[in-house]
Structure 1
Amino acid sequence: MPRTAESGAPTFTDPCDARDPASWSRTELGDAAVIEAFHDVAGTVTSQPGIEPVLRVAAGNACDLLAVDRCSIFLRGSNSGIFHGVAARSPGDSDIVRHLRCGVTRDRMSQEIVATRQPVLVRDAVADGRPVRSTMVNLQVREVLGVPLVFRQQVYGLMFLDLVGHHRGFSAIETRLVTFYADLIAGLLPVLHQVDDLHSAVRDLQMRSHESARTRRFADEIACASSAGTTPQQIAASASTATGRGSWFTDGAHRPIAHGGEGGNAARIGRLLNRPATIEALRALPDSGVLDLSTEPDGLLVAPITVDGHRRGNMSLICDGRPMTEHDKTVLRTAAHAISVELRVEAQSAMTTSEGRQQIARAMIEGNLDAVTHRRAALHSIPMDCQRVVCLVAQRRASSIRLDARDLAQAFDSVTAGPPALATPTAEGAIAVLVDLGEDSPSELAQRASTLTAAALKLADAEDTLIAAISSPITAVDQAPRAFDESQRVLHCLRQLCPESTTILSADDLGFAGVLLSAIDRTGADQHVHKTLGRLLSDHARDHEMLHTADVFFDHARNIRDTARALSVHENTVRYRLSRIHQLTGLDLTGNSDHQVSCQLALLILRLRGQLSTTNPLPHYP
């Protein structure tokens, strides 16, 4: 969890902190150094204007991590696959790097890094052939390590490290550490771009206009507040203070989200914005435009709030019978832009959190429980060892609703009070969700898992197309791969053996037979039921009675006395019915263990189909 040092710079609690540093492993020491280096970079975001100074600090820290004297960082161009040099450790190297480009036709090293999203080490940079040879010679590069800056599965930049004029000999551990560092820097890039965009917008605004000192103070205040983190409510309040008018931030459905100052009424503003003419005018309005509705009875100035090309709402100023000025329009545009930046940061923060949890979930079900996974889990406040199940959610049939891991995790979080659910897509198109079951007793865990899953599916599945297969509860994270495999077997049984009305099936419902049933399809199940129960699969009431007796017999651990009590019959009646089953099917249910297993499996198939009942007729088998 984040904590704040005395200097004010953010730090993180490391799992190693409780132990003597002398006992830390080489990997733990490296991870701690990476996190400390990243903290140093993150601390410069608000203090350094522009992207280049922050990335210059990042390059310098990378050099210190691997004891090299040169590191250069390139970022992808907005409309091409070419990467432009941005920063290096020293100002002199930065001047050189800014004239370089990566990813061009001859640069096969950069192309390999982008294609694989993995680091690439070139031992002989001059003779290898993948880097551009002339560049390697001019810069005296002998051995070079290239690392991608990957965020949301996209390569946004490249980092190159070398020792001028010498072979460095990068190890596998060093490569892993610098890759970890590069991933952290990549996650910072969206924030750097957003802060830089906001500063650019403010600078452009100041250059284009001759606003009053009041307007400039407001623009600076909003820029500083956005860099430090603010809320739409605070922005609306600042806009009201700067203009002396009431301000309203409404969402895409014109519902009030935040407001500042006095004036205006949410219902009247909603009615005005919902007029067909207003809707058409807003649709045609550029993202940086202002719609003047000051001549209306409830006069407004309206500026759209746009995030990544999508209109997310509007920012409005109330006329209050006073004429609107250019100062008011400038304040309104600046406030709308600031809110759009905050909404974008908020959305990307949620996405980053979601993707981090997806990575943890994927590592758990695949059994890749390295130090990085444990550290990520600690940062997200996720316990590694607890009572949980793996719930595999899939679509039974085609649907217009897209199956999304983030949405499913939110649905499970809405019905549980414990740590957040972890969800990740699987190769088969399903979503694996690891659900914390709290401190319930072991006998209650299976029922609680089914109850929570039913509630979550109800929230996430508007078209009733989702099905869920639940593993047996586990108590340790190293059991997660086994639970995932078990949930896949349960999902197979749910799809092959259960009727359309069954949406949830658990390993507890299948018992020992889950492994056996996962190996057969619907036809194989039909054949087994017919071969095993044969003459008992009729509509005759006496045959139903014998099947029911056999089912109760197994439910009571093959104890005749308990079975008779459950059926409210004499013990001799139970013996007679079991003997009759033996005569009709050849199944010796009291003495032959193979016959007992075959019969239990056939009865389970009937029960899964909802066909083992004294009221529902059994199917006819060929």
Structure 2
Amino acid sequence: MAVAPSTDTAMSRPHPDVAAETMPSPTGRPRERDVITAFAEITGEAIGDADLEQLLRSVCVKLCSVTGVSRSSLYLKKPGGRFRGAAGHCSDEGDITEAVKRQESGVAGDRFSREVIETGRPVLINDVANDPRPHRRTMEHWQVRAMLGVPLVFDGEVIGLLFVDNKDREHVYTQEDIEIAEMFAQLSALFISQAMLNVRLRSQASEIARSRNTLAYLADVHRKLTNAVLEGADIRSIVTLLSELSAKPVVLYDEDFRVLAWAAPPALGLDRPPVISDQIRAMPSVKAELAALSPERPSAVVPLTLSVGLGRRHLMCRLVIEGKPSGYLGIVEVGRSLETVDTNLAEHGATVLSLQILSERRQIETQGQARDDYLSDLLRNTRDKEHLLRRGPQFGIDLTHPHVMVRFALSANLRMTASAAQRLVTRRFREILGIDEPAAVKLPGSIIVLVPLPDGGSAEELSRLRDQVSLARASLQPELATSVTVISGICREVTDFPQAAREMREVADIAHSFEWSEGVLDVTELGLFRVVVSSGRVKEAVRFAHEYVHAVRTADDGVLLETWRAFVSAEGRVQGASVTLDVHENTVRYRMGKIKELTGLDPTSLDVLLSARLAFQILDFAAR
């Protein structure tokens, strides 16, 4: 026989050289009958449903018996024409199949095996040591002296090779030995060909059964996912169902690998999503795999093989919505290994999730448009009161409670869509005010937010709200670069909203007229000033203000003007002004007398108080 376990040689099993006598049949009967008897015994094993390897090993054992040698090996032809070891037997060592499996016959330098293959006839080498045809290192490794190689021929094709030898002993092969070995090989070729065919058929049947089971499983998956969607399951519920079906953790990511939803079998005891790490995503091979994902190749396992410190493998599947990449679905190799069926599950699940996400987006857009229409009706007074009160709760608005509106004027150079700006504003209000995301509406150049007043609009609540709006506005500046922000008066009735919207627009126009774009304005703080300025005569109003206080402004270093401001802010009360200025009340009275002398006006009269208040407001806005 001929087989060499050395890694650089692969060929036939060795057999010793010339010397010993041929062994007669143990029964004394013609040796052909021994061959037939041996073959009948092997056939009996086949009928007993022995596996192919066991049958091939029996062929080796029986061949040793009928030829009177101690060692044999069998090689089978594989796809591509290579002959790989399949079975082996040695009377001294027993089963040597595993050693034979590591060998290959007919490789470069193995002219002996090539001769058997090409001629389709037995080839005998009586003196291996001095014959150039065998692979030298293989023969030395297996301690071969003489060897006989016999082809397994079926339907005119060499389908395998049989080799016999006596390990490290010389042996004389007679012509009868060769004929007996050839007869045995001919019979074995018929049997082995049929056995290999049976193996292929069983393998095909198993593959068909696996395919049928996989199709049934995927049909069940499709049914469960479809039913879940039809029953109103949300994205998180679908991810949980995928985890149950795969018996592995499942993670849904957005395009920036932020986790949108995840689920894992309870038995794993996970308290956080087993995400694909930045370290893995930074690997060049993983980056290339993820970048190559497309509708034609929607999934890949990354990393394909694990190294120390890389954790676990992830089956990543691309989500594509309306032709655009929209995230990833990952099945994580935790608890159980990833299987082919997981790929089918992930790709099917990704399709369902893509459709669900698209549906939810459409629903949100539809609801958003309906809410925008509702708020437009509310601000423009185009619907009756009962209709607006009835539909409000549908959009999270209870008009039976007081509200204020906050108007954000947007920059003309805004770098995002109005819808994105609106979502950003309402999200920031939710975070800073600690409320549910408020209702809002997009208008040309602005966003109006409705803010409920749980305390009914108390002075403390309004003061706190103004501070919170100022904080929200400051946090939005980097993204929105908003100009003036206006807070409306309190809206207690449905009919208050249109008027409040007009007032906010007027205040915004006034701020624009004075080129003021910073901070937060409350419409209630402008009073008479808004009425005067809204007439459109801004320049005249500014000139009036400067002329009204000119005499006092030029009289000293500003002390009198400061005192006049404090007196007006204290609504004409000397005591209030003295507290503000931190001076004696008589000092305030003295200064107010000086103001009367300079202006010729009585600063304590109602008309002068109103005019002075208006003048100071105009000057303040002009200064801004």
**TM-score, structure 2 normalization:** 0.57
2:181 equivalent in structure 1: none
> Which residue of structure 2 aligns with residue 355 of structure 1?
369
User: Aligned partner of 2:383: which letter?
Assistant: L
CA distance in 2, matches of 1:489, 1:521: 14
| 1:529-568 deviations in Å (ceiling 9; x for gaps) | 2222224445x7x341111111111122213354345434
Deviations along 1:107-163, one digit per CA (max 9) or x if unpaired, are xxxxxxxxxxxxxxxxxxxxxxxxxxxxxxxxxxxxxxxxxxxxxxxxxxxxxxxxx
2:398 equivalent to 1:383:
yes
CA distance in 2 between partners of 1:605 and 1:209 (Å): 84
In the other structure, the counterpart of 2:614 is: 601
- In structure 2, the residue matched to 1:301 is 315
Match 1:222 to one of 204, 222, 225 = 225
With 397-406 and 262-271 compared, the bigger mean Cα shift is at 262-271
Deviations 1:280-330 (A, max 9, x none): 443342236333336331443321112333323211234579886553322
Is the CA contact 1:392–1:470 (under 8 Å) kept in the aligned structure 2? yes
Aligned counterparts of 1:464 and 1:332: Cα–Cα separation in 2: 39
Q: Distance in 2 between matches of 1:254 and 1:440?
A: 43
Question: 1:496: which partner in 2?
Answer: 513
Deviation at 1:479, TM superposition (A): 0.8
Q: 2:295 is paired with a residue of what secondary structure?
A: coil
Matches for 1:77-92 after TM superposition, within 5 Å: none
Alignment correspondent of 2:106 = none
Counterpart amino acid of residue 413 in structure 1: R
Looking at structure 2, the residues matched to 320 and 443 of structure 1 have their Cα atoms a distance apart, in angstroms, of 58
Aligned length: 399
User: RMSD of the TM alignment (CA)?
Assistant: 3.4
- C-alpha change, 1:425 and 1:282, in structure 2 (3 Å) is same
Other-structure match for 1:39:
none
The aligned runs of 1:295-374 (5 Å cut-off) are 295-297=304-306, 298-318=312-332, 326-370=340-384, 371-374=386-389
* Aligned twin of 1:258: 262
The 2-side partners of 1:450 and 1:487 are apart by 15
Contact 2:568–2:612 (Cα < 8 Å) also in 1: no
Matched, 1:484 2:501: yes
AA at the equivalent of 2:509:
H
Which segment drifts farther, 486-495 or 330-339?
Answer: 486-495
Give distance in 1, aligned partners of 2:243 and 2:582: 79
Question: What amino acid is aligned across from residue 258 of structure 1 in structure 2?
Answer: W
Alignment of 1:130-149 (within 5 A): none
Partners of 1:308 and 1:484 lie apart in 2 by 38
List aligned pairs for 1:172-321, cutoff 5 A. Answer: 211-256=214-259, 257-261=261-265, 266=274, 268-287=276-295, 289-293=297-301, 295-297=304-306, 298-318=312-332
Structure 2: how far apart are the matches of 1:396 and 1:246? 45
CA contact (8 A) 1:423 1:432 kept: yes
The higher radius of gyration belongs to: 2
SS of 1:283 mapped into structure 2: helix
1:409 maps to 2:426: yes
**Cα distance in 2, alignment partners of residues 513 and 299 from structure 1:** 69
Gaps of 5+ in 1: 1-207, 612-622
Deviation at 1:441, TM superposition (A): 5.1
1:558-573 equivalent positions in 2, closer than 5 A = 558-573=572-587
Name 2:450's counterpart in structure 1. 434
Q: CA deviation at 1:271?
A: 3.2
Structure 2 gap segments, 5+ residues each: 1-210, 307-311
Measure the CA separation in 2 of the matches of 1:415 and 1:610: 30
Q: Deviations over 1:237-278 (max 9, x none)?
A: 433443444433233222443133459983555533343443
Amino acid at match of 2:612: C
Q: CA deviation at 1:445?
A: 4.3
1:470 to 2:457 alignment: no
| Cα distance in structure 1, aligned partners of 2:341 and 2:426 | 45
- 1:447-485: CA deviations, max 9, x gaps? 133123223324544347223111121211211111111
Question: What CA distance in whole angstroms lies between the structure 2 residues aligned with 1:446 and 1:609?
Answer: 26
In 2, Cα distance between equivalents of 1:529 and 1:251: 58
**Aligned pair in 2 of structure 1 residues 506, 241: CA closer, same or farther (>3 Å)?**
closer
1:519 to 505, 512, 535: 535
Decide whether the 8 Å contact of 1:510 with 1:604 is kept in 2: yes
Cα distance in 1 for partners of 2:480, 2:231 equals 44
Distance 1:273 1:563, change over 3 A: closer
Distance of aligned partners of 1:421 and 1:318 in 2 relative to their CA distance in 1, 3 Å threshold:
closer
